[in-house]
A and B are shown apart, each in its own frame.
Chain A
Amino acid sequence: MFTIVRREEMAEGTVILNEIEAPKIARKAKPGQFVILKANDTGERIPLTMADTDPDKGTITVIYMVVGKSTALFKTLAIGDGYQDVIGPLGKPTEIEKIGNVVCVGGGTGIAVMHPITRAMKEAGNHIIAIIGARSKDLLILEDEMRSASHELLVCTDDGSYGHHGFVTDKLREVCERGDIDQAVLIGPVPMMKFASLLTKEFDVPTLVSLNPIMVDGTGMCGGCRVTVGGKTRFACVDGPEFDGHQVDYDELMARLQAYCEQEKQCYENFCTLNT
């Protein structure tokens, strides 16, 4: 079992942080990589990109939003409980190098994934402008952490309850218009990555996105996570999860993410009925 040593409810209890004992993974993991978690015997395998690692303590941190049965089940796990299976680190790490001016855009729980990458980019000597966004102030996570990981932080909320009233793409446009941006990294919901990529393309800013397709094994043996990038089929679990944002077929990815929506709903409703 992989024991939970720290647990926080963020964003009104809809976003959960778990720090998990997994020394082997903590020793190896690099920004951009993910793990697969399975809570119990009957559970499914869920991929989550790591939000942090502590090799000395031997722990990894994941942050997830409760959106269905499995994440609702994860939410029931208290400190001292654990996951039956945690597998990783998986996927290719982010290529961290000194590029110059880097804009890091995180949306929703994507901020959790964006954070270690932003920090590493800053440590590599880049000038970091970070843009984070959420539906509302209550759902915004890791603001302080992102502030210290960047040189400049811009905050947006869809409903205007905090920071700029609007989408992260508004701020991204302003940043791009300043010129001199060498690299963009975008992580968040697929529509956000799609529209932000269209925007950076206008400005010819090289763009990296971290994709979140459905996965089963996470080791390249099933192709469930396949995405079309530059007209070619790639497996996000081994070829990614990061790809050139200007080459990704986002519409296909969005459609594929809907593959099980009916079963997911059924499973979630059963679970909620049993637990109320």
Chain B
Amino acid sequence: MPKKAPKKEKIPRQQMDEQEPQVRAKNFDEVPFGYTKEQAKLEAARCLQCKKPACVPGCPVGIDIPGFIRLIQDGDFTGSCRLLWDKNALPAICGRVCPQELQCEGLCIVGKKDDPVAIGNLERFAADWERHHGTGVLPPREDPTGKKVAVVGSGPSGLTVAGDLIKKGHAVTIFEAFHLPGGVLVYGIPEFRLPKEIVAQEVNFLERQGVRIECNQVVGRTISLEELFEDGYDAVFLGVGAGLPRFLNVPGENMIGIYSANEYLTRSNLMKAYLFPKYDTPIIKGKNVVTLGAGNVAMDSARTALRLGAERSTIVYRRSRQEVPARAAEVHHAEEEGVVFHFLTAPIRFMGNKKGRLVGMECIQMELGEPDESGRRRPLPIKGSGFEIECDLAIIAVGAGANPLLTQSTDGLTLNNWGYIVTDENTGKTSKKGVWAGGDIVTGSATVILAMGAGRVAADSIDDYLTWGW
């Protein structure tokens, strides 16, 4: 047999250590531990440092990916984080929650024949390292321009706009309706995926650069959009998200024990109901919990239910596994922890006891028909296939719509048929002069990084407007 030339030993993609599934399903601590310095350097060494990197166009905020990875390989972790900050004010968050497989990592050349470079894990490493061991030196800021910008909403898009514009010398104030900033990062994404301490620190990083944050300000109620201009703001960015929960509109949906995912997660994450009675906000802890829907929000809900002591946490989804919109990694984590999936199943009605508390759900089996307007095969009920699922808590995670509170109280904003704000795709400008919008209030429910990308586009346009008047 001819002898093969010895192959250059390949470095495998470095896996982050994580909590064991049985252990973590009972606590709210973060699942993966993050890279060690050694792991990060090894992983960074896998990057080919392409002259024309394919990964960068996959990043909605255009991070210099080979650049920051090179600095990790060199051991200059602070430098690496500073390079990330050039394009991304929230690297510790993006490294954790971006769907990298669809973005940067999905385009990585190494990924053609091997596992792609773990760009997200490296981004997370650099940001975490800087947070824990960094110099505390802030990014440079241009001279004050004397211009004032109001950012409505402190979710990912608003924070990005604030981070970009403060660096350009504008005065930025964020108006947040909740008592804490962060939007979906604090009320939606659970602690075990994104520790709230990290969100607080990333937000504080913006405050240290000069961004003012006013909480408890419901724009549209406490203050109107017009009043912001009267108060001297030169431009306004609306990043209020898509916070209106959708319900199923099936009988019995208002029984006790049925939550929107928004309510369930807000109670648990923002109000810390998982620490009740140390914290005052209560939450219903079901034994048999059913989550309806199969997006990331559904995975977060089903996994939260386990941590709150559910004996059985089930996902009920009307399409098949192939159509599941959640990230593969999230589904995998949920399954490892013991979440059970019922595919091709849809609820018909909820059943309660005399006190109006949920005791079960009647479901029907579905089959997939022709593709619908979304391109996914339409689920059709199979006659006579009805069956019951016992449950004492149901969480509805079938998406969210545009919250009309602000848009209805503001004249001159063009909305589309679904109530989302219409903007110019290239600039984020709305139909109202001096007003920009971005994130879920424009696109409907999407991802953290897409909202940040929209924030970047709007921030560039706002800067042009403040500088040149267009």
Contact = CB atoms under 8 A, between A and B. Distances in A.
A87 B256 contact: no
B280 A222 contact: no
A216 interface: yes
B269 to A, nearest CB: 12
Given A223-B245, A223-B263, A233-B247, A87 B216 contact: yes
Interface in A220-276: 220-224, 226-228, 233, 238, 252, 255-256, 258-260, 263-264, 266-267, 270
- Bin chain B's interface residue count: 35 or more
B468 interface: no
B262 interface: yes
A156 to B, nearest CB: 30
Nearest to B217: A24
A107 interface: no
Contacts of A270: 277
A20 to B, nearest CB: 13
B277 A263 contact: yes
B192 interface: no
Nearest to B245: A223
Contacts of A263: 276-277, 282
B426 interface: no
Interface stretch (A4-12, A41-49, A131-139): A41-49
Interface in B307-364: 355-356
Interface string A120-155: 000000000000000000000000000000000000
Contacts of A252: 254, 356
Interface stretch (B72-80, B100-108, B218-226): B218-226
Contact of B356 (A24, A87, A220, A256): A256
Interface string A145-176: 00000000000000000000000000000000
Contacts of A187: none
A116 interface: no
A45 B271 CA distance: 8
B256 A44 contact: no
B403 A221 contact: yes
Contact of A223 (B179, B260, B404): B260
Contact of A44 (B217, B222, B247, B280): B280
Contacts, number: 117
Nearest to B264: A222
Given A222-B263, A256-B254, A256-B356, A88 B218 contact: yes
Contact of B403 (A45, A220, A227): A220
Contact of A90 (B178, B215, B218, B278): B218
A269 to B, nearest CB: 9
A222 B262 contact: yes
Nearest to A260: B282
Interface in A69-96: 69-70, 73, 84-90
Contact of B244 (A24, A84, A86, A220): A220
A119 interface: no
Contacts of B259: 224
Contact of A255 (B217, B271, B356): B356
B356 A264 contact: no
B284 interface: yes
Nearest to A24: B222
Contacts of B244: 220-221
A89 B262 CA distance: 22
Nearest to B263: A222
B460 interface: no
A43 B247 contact: no
Nearest to A221: B243
B205 to A, nearest CB: 22
Interface in B186-245: 215-218, 221-223, 243-245
A84 B180 CA distance: 11
Contact of A85 (B215, B257, B263): B215
Given A28-B222, A89-B222, A69 B247 contact: no
B401 to A, nearest CB: 10
A160 to B, nearest CB: 33
A24 B262 contact: no
A216 B260 contact: no
A221 B176 CA distance: 14
B277 A267 contact: yes
B27 interface: no
A36 to B, nearest CB: 9
Interface in A50-76: 69-70, 73
B19 interface: no
A204 to B, nearest CB: 28
A24 B356 CA distance: 40
Contacts of A85: 179, 215-216
Contacts of B356: 252, 255-256, 258
Contacts of A28: 221-223
5 contacts: A24-B222, A87-B179, A220-B404, A252-B254, A256-B256
Given A43-B279, A69-B280, 8 more contacts: A44-B279, A219-B218, A221-B243, A221-B245, A233-B253, A252-B254, A255-B356, A264-B282
Interface of B: 177-179, 215-218, 221-223, 243-245, 247, 249, 253-257, 259-260, 262-263, 266-267, 271-272, 276-282, 284, 355-356, 403-405
Q: Which 4 pairs between the two chains have the least Cβ-Cβ distance?
A: A255-B356, A221-B243, A263-B282, A222-B263
